[in-house]
């Protein structure tokens, strides 16, 4: 146990970090009961008819080519085998008249070198971060994307065969996991996604130990290292099989990713002087890094998490949460998805995070819409598309 004064310094640094992150705008008044008018029973909109979601590149072809190659090698000759996992969430989505209109499994999920085209620079260059490259120096974006030239940058993982169902667990950091004893179940999945302040030591029985993907923005990763240090988040997850998923929320993410792959100190900008080895281990293989596509971020906002906050003066701050983005990433790459540590309607019963020493209530800020996310996870669970951990 640390001395009380040290803990309170830790918390105020954390609070400071949060303030700079959210510009201090507290959102609880906006979100208080009554101000949110439920729409059409489910509480969120169908995709807008006017939504002009233009894929920046035709992505399906690349992805299909990779899958076809895998299938060609592994498909047993003559035998009739289904192309996909027979219990895949894709089939459940197809079966559901509501979610069928939201999901587009052809959306570009990851960003890689061949996305650096003149056409993309025109389209993405008009959208502000995190949905595009507006105001970012072209040389920073181009030099980063150039390094994403391996097949590992184009897919989340390789499929082992057409019939194998890929089962993923996405572990949020919610207080509901305290005492859950779900560690073994979580580790039993093919891939485990974690994010931000993912404390493991001391909570193995509740959250497991396996980490296949760690998702973050450089801002949330560094804030987590400061704010949750006192709870044991003293370093980012590391491991031979671990992959880092960058959410490109601003220039910092492009510059850090480039420095991480090149294995050099961050040369300029907000994180100047940072050693990427601190975050990603010494001499990480370039194949350890992936970056989400700005189109995917826009798609998640427009189709799944089109918050009322977008109609307020806080619109520019709003984006889906890191946990929400990781869960949607899993939904667009795995066959079966279980979500642990995500917000449920009884969130008042739990602390903000599973590792706090005393109960700290969940706070709402203008940059995310946790109530909307809660409704989405609940609805996906009710439709059998995800398995959401509840108590």
Ligand X SMILES: *[C@@H]1O[C@H](CO)[C@@H](O)[C@H](O)[C@H]1NC(C)=O
What is the contact surface with ligand X in residues (CB under 6 A)?
91-92, 95, 149-150, 175, 178-179, 351, 356, 358-359
Kindly tell me which of 153 and 306 has the beta carbon lying closer to ligand X: 153
> Closest approach of Cβ 55 to ligand X, in Å?
24
Q: CA dist 145 to 85, 138, 231, 261, Å? A: 32, 11, 35, 11
With residue 122 as reference, give the H or E element that holds it.
Answer: helix 118-124
Q: Tokens 């809660």, residue?
A: 374
Q: How far is the CB of 360 from ligand X (least distance, A)?
A: 7
**Considering the complex, what minimum distance in angstroms separates the CB of residue 277 from ligand X?**
19
Residue from 191, 204, 268, 198 nearest 235 by CA: 198
Smaller CB separation from ligand X, 90 or 209: 90
Nearer to ligand X, 305 or 370 (CB): 370
Which lies closer to ligand X via its Cβ, residue 13 or residue 262? Answer: 262
Hey, which bits of 316-384 come out as E strands?
336-340
Residue corresponding to tokens 């108590």 = 391
Comparing CB distances to ligand X, the nearer of 123 and 200 is: 200
State which residue, 96 or 106, has the beta carbon closest to ligand X: 96
Q: Which of 307, 244, 313, 254 is nearest to 280 (CA)?
A: 244
Q: Least CB distance from residue 319 to ligand X, whole Å?
A: 27
In angstroms, rounded to a whole number, what is the distance separating the alpha carbons of residues 374 and 58? 32
- At its nearest, how many Å lie between ligand X and the CB of residue 232? 13
Structure tokens at 198: 């993912």
The order of strands in the sheet holding 191-195 is 289-291, 243-246, 213-216, 191-195, 167-171, 336-340, 387-388
Q: Is 133 helix (H, G, I), strand (E, B) or coil?
A: coil
């Amino acid at each position: 146990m640390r001395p009380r004064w040290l803990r309170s310094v830790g918390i105020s640094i954390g609070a400071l970090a949060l303030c700079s992150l959210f510009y201090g705008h507290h959102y609880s008044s906006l979100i208080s009961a009554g101000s949110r008018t439920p729409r059409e029973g489910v509480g969120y909109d169908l995709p807008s008819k006017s939504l002009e979601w233009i894929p920046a590149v035709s992505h399906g072809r690349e992805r299909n080519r990779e899958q076809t190659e895998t299938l060609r090698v592994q498909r047993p000759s003559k035998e009739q085998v289904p192309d996909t996992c027979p219990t895949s969430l894709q089939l459940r989505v197809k079966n559901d008249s509501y979610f069928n209109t939201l999901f587009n499994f052809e959306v570009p999920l990851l960003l890689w070198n061949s996305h650096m085209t003149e056409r993309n620079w025109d389209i993405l260059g008009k959208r502000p971060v995190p949905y595009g490259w507006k105001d970012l120096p072209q040389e920073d974006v181009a030099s980063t994307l150039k390094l994403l030239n391996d097949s590992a940058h184009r897919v989340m993982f390789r499929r082992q065969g057409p019939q194998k169902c890929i089962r993923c667990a996405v572990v949020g950091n919610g207080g509901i996991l305290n005492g859950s004893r779900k560690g073994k179940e979580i580790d039993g999945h093919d891939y485990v996604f974690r994010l931000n302040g993912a404390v493991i030591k001391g909570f193995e029985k509740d959250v497991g130990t396996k980490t296949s993907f760690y998702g973050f923005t450089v801002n949330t990763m560094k804030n987590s290292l400061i704010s949750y240090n006192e709870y044991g988040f003293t370093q980012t997850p590391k491991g031979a099989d671990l992959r880092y998923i960058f959410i490109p929320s601003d220039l910092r993410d492009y510059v850090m990713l480039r420095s991480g792959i090149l294995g050099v100190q961050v040369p300029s900008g907000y994180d100047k002087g940072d050693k990427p080895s601190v975050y990603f281990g010494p001499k990480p293989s370039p194949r350890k890094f992936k970056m989400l596509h700005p189109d995917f971020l826009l798609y998640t906002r427009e189709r799944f998490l089109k918050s009322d906050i977008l109609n307020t003066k806080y619109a520019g701050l709003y984006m889906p949460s890191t946990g929400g983005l990781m869960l949607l990433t899993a939904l667009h790459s795995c066959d079966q998805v279980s979500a642990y540590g995500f917000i449920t309607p009884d969130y008042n019963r739990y602390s903000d995070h599973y590792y706090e020493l005393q109960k700290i209530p969940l706070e709402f800020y203008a940059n995310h819409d946790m109530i909307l996310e809660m409704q989405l996870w609940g609805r996906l669970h009710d439709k059998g598309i995800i398995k959401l951990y509840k108590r």
